[in-house]
C-alpha cells in the first residue's frame, strides 16, 4: 500500500453536520481498501479564483494509506458528490 494525501474543497454553505457526514463517507470509502491516518478540517479559506460563483470554500485534508487501484474509485466518488467543488489526490 502507498501513502496518499487528499485535499477537497467543499461548498461553503455546507454546515458542520454536512461536513461531518462527508468526512465519515470518505473515511469509510478509504477504509474499505486502506487505512485513514488523519483527517483535518482546515476551515474556510478564500479561494484564488471563484469556483461555481463562490469566493471561499471549506478545506478537508485526508492522510491515508491505500492500494493504488482504489484511488480511481475515490476520485470517481469525489466527482459525483455535489458539495465538492475541487479535489486533489497526491502520492507522498
Q: How far is 28 from 88, CA to CA, in rounded Å?
A: 18
The pLDDT confidence band at residue 77, using thresholds 50, 70 and 90, is very high
Query: Can you give the pLDDT at residue 37?
Result: 93
Q: Which CATH number fits domain 2-91: 3.30.70.60, 3.30.365.10, 1.10.40.30, 3.40.50.300?
A: 3.30.70.60
| Residue 56 CA: distances (Å) to CA of 11, 21, 44 | 8, 20, 7
At residue 1, the pLDDT reads: 86
Locate 32 and state its grid cell.
474499505
Q: Per-domain residue ranges for the chain?
A: 2-91
Contact between residue 83 and residue 10 where contact means Cβ atoms under 8 Å apart: yes
Residue 33 pLDDT: 85
Predicted confidence (pLDDT) per residue in 24-48, tens digit: 999 999 998 889 999 999 999 999 9
pLDDT of residue 55: 93
Contact 4/75 with Cβ under 8 angstroms?
Answer: no
pLDDT tens by residue, 50-73:
998 999 999 999 999 999 888 999
DSSP 37-65: EEEEEEEEEEEEEEETTEEEEEEEEEEEE
Amino acid at each position: 500500500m502507498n501513502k496518499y494525501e487528499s485535499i477537497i474543497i467543499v461548498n461553503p454553505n455546507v454546515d458542520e453536520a454536512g461536513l461531518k457526514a462527508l468526512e465519515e463517507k470518505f473515511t469509510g470509502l478509504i477504509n474499505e481498501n486502506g487505512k485513514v491516518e488523519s483527517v483535518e478540517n482546515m476551515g474556510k479559506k478564500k479561494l484564488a479564483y471563484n469556483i461555481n460563483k463562490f469566493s471561499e470554500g471549506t478545506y478537508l485534508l485526508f492522510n491515508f494509506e491505500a492500494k493504488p487501484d482504489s484511488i480511481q474509485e475515490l476520485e470517481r466518488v469525489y466527482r459525483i458528490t455535489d458539495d465538492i467543488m475541487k479535489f486533489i489526490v497526491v502520492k507522498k
